[in-house]
C-alpha cells in the first residue's frame, strides 16, 4: 500500500502556542512600596494598568503624589548611613541575592512583562528578564571592587538617588538603574512608567524576599507629576532618567544650578548602515532586529536605514519579503515576532508621524497582516524614497517603522549617519574589518554594533551623544554616575 | 580571483536558533510530522547492507505506519549502488523512489571516469535519483571550474535521473564556503543541493540548512529555476525535523514544503516522528519497541 505524500492543500499554519498564564497571581491592587512596606498613597489615587493587547485591566495601581515622594526620599535618607556603612562585600551579596531571585521568578516576570507592556513573550523570556538578572549579577561583583573602577581613586556613594524608568523595558531598565546604585552604596527611589508598573512592583516583592534593609529602595508608581516631584525634591543627590528627550530637557532645566548628579538616557534616531559588501541576508535580519524588536519601542532602534545605493534595491526587496513573514499578534504566543503597541497614546503618535511621512511624499509600505480587533496594533512599515529633510527621517517614531535612505561612499555614510540631533547607537554592516573599524570611529553614537544590532550586555557601556543624553549605564563606566570622587 | 558571497556566521546561527525556537503544537505538529515523513529519503549506507536489509527497509518506506493510514510513504529509499537492484525490485510500483549515492561516496576521491561509470551503472540498474558528492579536493584547492564541470558531467551521466549534489558542509570550513560551493553545485545543474553525506561532522544543522535554503531562494528569485534542498546528517529527532520545515517555510515559503523541493535524508528520525505522532494522537508515549526497526 502506498500513500501519496501530503500535498499542502491548505497552508501549514502554526497552531496557537500561548504561554500559560493561569499560574500568575497578580494582586487586585498594588500599594506603593515605601520604606520596605506596602503603603497606600497619601492622596488615595489608584489607576488601573491594562494589557495593551486586549485593553483588559490587570490590577489597580497606587499612584504616588508629592507627599509620597517625600516619604520615600526620607526613608532613603534614613537608610543611607547603615547601607553605605555596610561592608562592601555584604552589599554585593544583597545584589547577588536579587539576581538569583529574578532568575527564580523569571517565568512569572516574563509573562507579567508581556501582559503589562505588550511585548512578545519570546523577547521578555529570552531578552528582558535574563538581561535584568545578568545586570544584577554583574554589578554584585563590583560592590567590593569600587576602588579599582576609577583608577584607584577613593570613592563614596552619591547618596539618595531618584530613578525614573520608561515603559519599553520596564524590568530591565529598573535593573539598569538599581544594580549599580545599590552596588555603589546608594539608596534609591525608583519610579516605574505609568503604563507598565507591574514588574517593578514584582521586583519590590523580590527586594522584600531578599531582605534588603528597609528604605534602601522604594518603588513609587505614578505619572509625570510623581516624576517631577522626585526630580525637584530638595533632598536628592542624583537623578537618573531614561525616557524622552523632551522630558530629559525639562529635568536638566529643573536641576540647573543645583549640586545634583544627573544622567539622561533619551531618544534616538539611530543609523543602521549597510555597505555593499555586507552579508546581505544577515544584514536584513539585523535590520529586522534593529527596528521591529519590541515593536520599535527601543530608544536605540535602528530606525534610519542607510543603504549603499549599489545594493539598495536588492536589500529593500529582501527586507520587504522578510517583513511579510513577521508574525504579528498575541504577545503571549511563543511564535509571535511583533506584539502590541504599548499604549493608545503611543499608537496615536506613531500614526500621526506615519501620516506625516505620506504627506511629505515618502513611499509607504505596510505589511498586510491580520491584526487583532481589540488592543493597540501597528503593522510593520517601511518608508522608501525618504529625503533627509522629511520628518520621518528626523524624528523618533518609536514604533515599527523603518525609514530607508541611500548613500554612495563611506564618507557620505558617516556624514548622513551623524546628521542628526541624536547619537545613541548605530549599526555597521560590512564584511570588511578595516572598514567596520574606520567607520565606527567616525560615528558619533554611544554604541556602534558591527554586523549585529540591539545586542545588550551588562559589561558594556550604553549611553548617548548630544540629544540622546549623557552618562553611561553598564560596565565599569556605569558605576561612575553613582560615585563621588573624594 | 575568487569573490565569495559574504555570509556572516553569527547572524546565520542567530537566525537559525530563533527559528529553531518556534513552538509547533497540536494539529500543526501532526501535519508537520506527516509532511516530514513524506519528505524522508530513508537511508541505509553501511558496509553490512544486504538485499535482505534493503527489502525490509523498503517495506518501511512504503508504509511507515500501518496503524495510521493517513501517514504517507517516504519519498525515497537511499542505498549504495550495489543495492540499487534490490531496492528497485522492492519498490516497483509503489511510487517510492530509488535513490543511490554515487561518485565514490562519501569521499569522492576516485577518478572522474570511475565516478561517471558508477553513476551510469546505478541509473541503468534503476536508480531514479543520484546523490553525488562534490570533489572537496577540487573545491578546497580553489578549482571552482572543476567543481562545476564535474557536476555537469555527472548530471549528463544521470540522464533522466534526478541529481542531488552533496557539498559536505562540515568539510568546507565555514558558511562562506558552504554558500559558495552550493552556488557552484547549482551552476553545474544540480536538481537538489544536499548538506552532507552523513558520514562527517554535525550534518544538517539549522545554520547549514538555512545557508543552503538562502542559496536556492536567491537562485529561484534571480533565474526562476527551482532547485531543491536535501538536509541530511544528524537529523534524529522530530524536533529537528520540524525545525527544518520551519526553516523552509520562513525562508522560502510554503510552496517549498513538498517532497519535490525539500527532502530529509535520515533513518532513525522516522521512528521518532512516528512516536511523536502517536503521542499527539493518544497523549501517551509509546515504547521504542512498538515501532518496527525497519
A:2-41 residues touching chain B, CB 8 A cutoff: 2-8, 11-17
Phi, psi of A405 (to 5 degrees): -130, 165
Catalytic member of B60, B155, B164, B230 = B230
Torsion of CA B73, B76, B80, B83, to 10 degrees: 60
B2 and chain A in contact, CB less than 8 A = no
ipTM for the predicted complex: 0.94
pLDDT at residue A250 greater than cutoff 90: yes
Q: Name the pLDDT band for B1 (thresholds 50, 70, 90).
A: very low
Catalytic residue list contains A300: no
DSSP-derived secondary structure for B80-129: -GGGHHHHHHHHTTSSPEEEEE-SSTTT--S-HHHHHHHHHHHHHTT-SE
Please compute the mean of the pLDDT values over residues A208-216 and round it to a whole number: 98
- Determine the distance in angstroms separating the CA of B153 from the nearest CA of chain A, rounded to an integer: 32
Which one of A9, A10, A12 makes the best mutation probe of the B interface by having the most chain B beta carbons within 10 Å? Answer: A12
Q: With contact defined as beta carbons under 8 Å apart, do A362 and A390 qualify?
A: yes
Contact B78, B99 (CB under 8 A): yes
**pLDDT at site A150:** 86
Measured in degrees and rounded to the nearest 5, phi and psi for residue B178 equal -60, -45
Per DSSP bridges, beta strands A363-366 and A381-384 are antiparallel
pLDDT for A147 equals 87
Residue B255 appears among annotated catalytic residues: no
Residues A115, A245 contacting (CB under 8 angstroms): no
CA B294 to chain centre: 19
- pLDDT at residue A1, as a whole number: 45
| Residue B259 confidence (pLDDT) above 70 | yes
Question: Is the pLDDT at A69 greater than 50, yes or no?
Answer: yes
d(CA A298, CA A127): 13
pLDDT at B28 over 90: yes
Q: What cell does B282 get?
A: 493518544
Per-residue model confidence (pLDDT) at position A7: 54
The SS3 of residue B69 is coil
Q: Which among A1, A2, A274, A319 is the top mutation candidate for probing chain B, defined by the most B β-carbons within 10 Å of its own β-carbon?
A: A2
Neighbours of B244 (CB within 10 A): 26
Supply the pTM of this predicted model: 0.95
**Averaged pLDDT, B236-247:** 98
On chain A, the residues whose CB falls within 8 A of the CB of B34 are 6
CA distance A110 to A94: 22
Per-residue pLDDT at A470: 96
Q: Are A221 and A30 in contact (CB under 8 A)?
A: yes
Question: Any idea which of A4-8, A168-172, B46-50 has the lowest mean pLDDT?
Answer: A4-8
CB B44 within 8 A of CB B74: no
- Interface probe for B, chosen from A110, A272, A276, A282 (most Cβ of B below 10 Å), is A282
Rounded Cα distance, A269 and A426, in Å: 9
Task: Give chain A's mean pLDDT.
Answer: 96
Q: Which tens digits make up the pLDDT trace of A384-422?
A: 999 999 999 999 999 999 999 999 999 999 999 999 999
Mean pLDDT on A20-36: 97
Residue B219 scores a pLDDT above 70: yes
Cα B250 to Cα B21: distance, rounded to the nearest angstrom: 13
Q: Please, are residues A121 and A445 in contact by the beta-carbon 8 Å criterion?
A: no
With 70 as the cut, is the pLDDT of residue A4 above it?
no
How close B46 comes to chain A (CA, Å)? 26
Q: Could you read off the pLDDT of A129-162 as tens digits, one per residue?
A: 999 999 999 999 999 999 888 888 899 999 999 9
Distance CA A448, CA A177 (A): 22
Confidence of residue B253 (pLDDT cuts 50, 70, 90): very high
Contact criterion met (CB < 8 Å) for A431 and B11: no
Residues with Cβ within 8 Å of A20's Cβ and at least 6 positions away in sequence, in order, are none
At residue B293 the predicted structure's pLDDT band, cuts being 50, 70 and 90, is: confident
On whether any CB of chain A is under 8 Å from the CB of B59, the answer is no
Per-residue pLDDT band at B3 (split at 50, 70, 90): low
DSSP 8-class letter at B188: T
Contacting A residues, span 361-400, partner chain B, CB-CB under 8 Å = none
Q: For residue range B36-81, what is the model confidence (pLDDT) as tens digits?
A: 999 999 999 999 999 999 999 999 999 999 999 999 999 999 999 9
**Is pLDDT at A10 greater than 90 in this prediction?**
no
Q: Give the C-alpha separation, B207 to A295, whole Å.
A: 26
Amino acid at each position: 500500500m502506498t500513500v501519496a505524500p501530503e500535498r499542502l492543500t491548505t497552508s501549514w499554519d502554526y497552531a496557537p502556542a500561548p504561554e500559560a498564564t493561569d499560574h500568575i497571581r497578580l494582586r487586585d491592587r498594588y500599594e506603593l512600596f515605601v520604606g520596605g512596606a506596602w503603603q497606600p498613597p497619601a492622596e488615595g489615587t489608584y489607576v488601573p494598568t491594562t494589557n495593551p493587547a486586549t485593553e483588559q485591566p490587570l490590577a489597580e495601581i497606587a499612584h504616588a503624589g508629592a507627599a509620597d515622594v517625600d516619604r520615600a526620599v526620607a526613608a532613603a535618607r534614613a537608610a543611607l548611613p547603615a547601607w553605605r556603612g555596610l561592608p562592601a562585600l555584604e552589599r554585593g551579596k544583597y545584589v547577588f541575592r536579587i539576581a538569583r531571585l529574578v532568575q527564580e521568578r523569571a517565568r512569572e516576570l516574563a509573562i507579567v512583562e508581556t501582559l503589562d507592556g505588550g511585548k512578545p513573550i519570546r523577547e521578555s523570556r529570552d531578552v528582558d528578564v535574563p538581561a535584568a538578572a545578568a545586570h544584577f549579577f554583574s554589578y554584585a561583583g563590583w560592590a567590593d571592587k569600587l576602588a579599582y573602577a576609577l583608577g584607584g581613586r577613593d570613592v563614596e556613594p552619591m547618596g539618595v538617588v531618584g530613578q525614573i524608568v520608561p515603559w519599553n523595558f520596564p524590568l530591565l531598565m529598573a535593573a539598569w538603574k538599581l544594580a549599580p546604585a545599590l552596588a555603589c552604596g546608594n539608596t534609591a527611589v525608583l519610579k516605574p512608567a505609568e503604563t507598565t508598573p507591574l514588574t517593578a512592583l514584582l521586583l519590590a516583592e523580590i527586594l522584600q524576599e531578599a531582605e534588603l534593609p528597609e528604605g534602601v529602595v522604594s518603588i513609587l508608581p505614578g505619572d509625570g507629576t510623581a516624576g517631577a516631584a522626585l526630580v525637584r525634591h530638595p533632598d536628592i543627590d542624583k537623578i537618573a532618567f531614561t525616557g524622552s528627550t523632551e522630558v530629559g530637557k525639562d529635568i536638566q532645566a529643573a536641576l540647573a544650578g543645583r549640586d545634583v548628579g544627573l544622567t539622561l538616557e533619551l531618544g534616538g534616531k539611530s543609523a543602521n548602515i549597510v555597505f555593499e559588501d555586507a552579508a546581505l541576508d544577515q544584514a536584513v535580519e539585523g535590520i529586522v532586529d534593529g527596528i521591529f524588536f519590541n515593536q520599535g519601542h527601543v530608544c536605540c532602534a535602528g530606525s534610519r536605514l542607510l543603504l549603499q545605493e549599489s545594493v539598495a534595491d536588492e536589500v529593500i526587496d529582501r527586507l520587504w519579503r522578510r517583513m511579510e513573514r513577521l508574525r504579528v499578534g498575541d504577545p503571549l504566543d511563543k511564535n509571535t515576532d511583533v506584539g502590541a503597541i504599548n499604549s493608545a497614546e503611543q499608537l496615536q503618535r506613531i500614526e500621526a508621524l506615519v501620516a506625516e511621512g505620506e504627506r511629505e511624499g515618502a513611499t509607504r509600505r505596510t505589511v498586510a497582516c491580520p491584526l487583532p480587533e481589540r488592543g493597540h496594533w501597528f503593522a510593520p512599515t517601511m518608508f522608501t524614497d525618504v529625503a533627509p529633510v522629511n520628518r520621518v527621517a528626523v524624528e523618533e517614531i518609536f514604533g515599527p517603522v523603518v525609514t530607508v535612505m541611500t548613500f554612495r561612499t563611506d564618507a557620505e555614510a558617516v556624514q548622513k549617519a551623524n546628521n542628526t540631533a541624536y547619537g545613541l547607537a548605530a549599526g555597521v554592516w560590512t564584511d570588511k574589518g578595516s572598514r567596520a573599524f574606520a567607520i565606527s570611529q567616525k560615528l558619533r553614537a554611544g554604541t556602534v554594533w558591527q554586523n549585529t544590532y540591539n545586542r545588550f550586555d551588562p559589561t558594556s557601556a550604553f549611553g548617548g551623544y548630544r540629544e540622546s543624553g549623557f552618562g553611561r549605564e553598564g560596565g565599569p563606566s556605569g558605576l561612575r554616575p553613582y560615585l563621588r570622587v573624594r | 580571483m575568487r569573490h565569495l558571497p559574504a555570509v556572516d556566521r553569527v547572524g546565520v546561527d542567530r537566525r537559525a536558533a530563533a527559528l529553531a525556537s518556534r513552538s509547533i503544537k497540536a494539529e500543526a505538529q501532526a501535519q508537520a510530522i506527516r509532511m516530514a515523513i513524506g519528505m524522508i529519503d530513508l537511508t541505509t549506507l553501511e558496509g553490512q547492507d544486504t538485499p535482505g536489509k534493503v527489502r525490509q527497509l523498503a517495506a518501511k518506506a512504503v508504509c511507515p505506519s500501518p496503524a495510521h493510514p493517513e501517514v504517507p510513504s517516504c519519498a525515497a529509499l537511499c542505498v549504495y549502488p550495489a543495492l540499487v537492484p534490490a531496492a528497485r525490485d522492492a519498490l516497483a510500483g509503489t511510487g517510492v523512489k530509488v535513490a543511490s549515492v554515487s561518485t565514490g561516496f562519501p569521499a569522492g576521491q576516485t577518478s572522474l571516469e570511475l565516478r561517471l561509470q558508477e553513476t551510469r551503472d546505478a541509473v541503468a540498474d534503476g536508480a531514479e535519483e543520484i546523490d553525488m558528492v562534490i570533489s572537496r579536493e577540487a573545491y578546497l584547492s580553489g578549482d571552482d571550474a572543476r567543481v562545476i564541470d564535474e557536476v555537469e558531467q555527472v548530471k549528463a551521466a544521470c540522464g533522466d535521473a534526478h541529481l542531488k549534489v552533496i557539498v559536505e558542509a562540515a568539510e568546507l570550513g565555514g558558511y562562506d564556503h558552504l554558500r559558495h560551493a552550493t552556488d557552484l553545485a547549482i551552476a553545474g545543474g544540480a536538481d537538489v543541493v544536499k548538506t552532507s553525506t552523513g558520514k562527517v561532522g554535525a550534518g544538517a544543522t539549522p545554520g547549514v540548512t538555512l545557508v543552503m535554503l538562502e542559496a536556492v531562494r536567491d537562485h529561484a528569485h534571480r533565474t526562476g529555476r527551482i532547485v531543491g534542498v536535501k538536509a541530511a546528517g544528524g537529523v534524529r529527532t522530530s524536533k529537528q525535523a520540524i525545525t527544518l520545515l520551519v526553516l523552509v517555510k520562513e525562508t522560502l515559503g510554503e510552496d517549498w514544503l513538498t517532497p519535490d523541493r525539500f527532502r530529509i535524508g535520515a533513518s532513525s528520525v522516522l521512528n521518532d516522528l512516528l512516536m511523536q505522532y502517536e503521542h499527539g494522537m493518544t497523549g501517551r508515549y509509546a515504547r521504542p519497541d512498538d515501532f518496527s526497526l525497519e
